[in-house]
Amino acid sequence: MLVDANLLLYAVNSAAPQHETARAWWEAALSGAGRVGLPWQTIGAFVRITTHPRVIRRPLAAEEAWSYVAEWLDVDVVWIPPATERTAGILGDLLRRTGATGNLVPDAQLAALAIEHGVAVATADTDFARFPDVRWINPLD
């Protein structure tokens, strides 16, 4: 599976209503046998949002945000899925077929990467239902 940033944000932000459920799911995912993909866009979104004072009431320092990422990347089941030229073709097809624009483009990018690697997206974002051929799960449901 590939993980969307929203689940990571909920897992580390104790003020989020979804925190306990997300934290428990994330800990189980990291200690499980299945591969857990952290795409660069997920990593970047996590660091960007957790360090942004207009988004998070008590933002993390960049070093603190990165320490979460570094810890996750040290777990054996975690991998960074590479994007390729095939990802670009899949993304273009998704954009054409769905008309996704604006804030849906990052979701389409993650969907394209998941399709390329043949894995599901773990997310709390129901917008992934818009993308044909992508499997997605909401572990908070």
Under 8 Å between Cβ of 81 and 121: no
Assign 36 to helix, strand or coil: strand
CB-based contact 20:29 (threshold 8 Å): no
C-alpha 102/C-alpha 10 separation (Å) is: 23
Does the annotation list 107 as a binding residue?
Answer: yes
Annotated binding site: 4, 107
Annotated binding site for Mg(2+): 4, 107
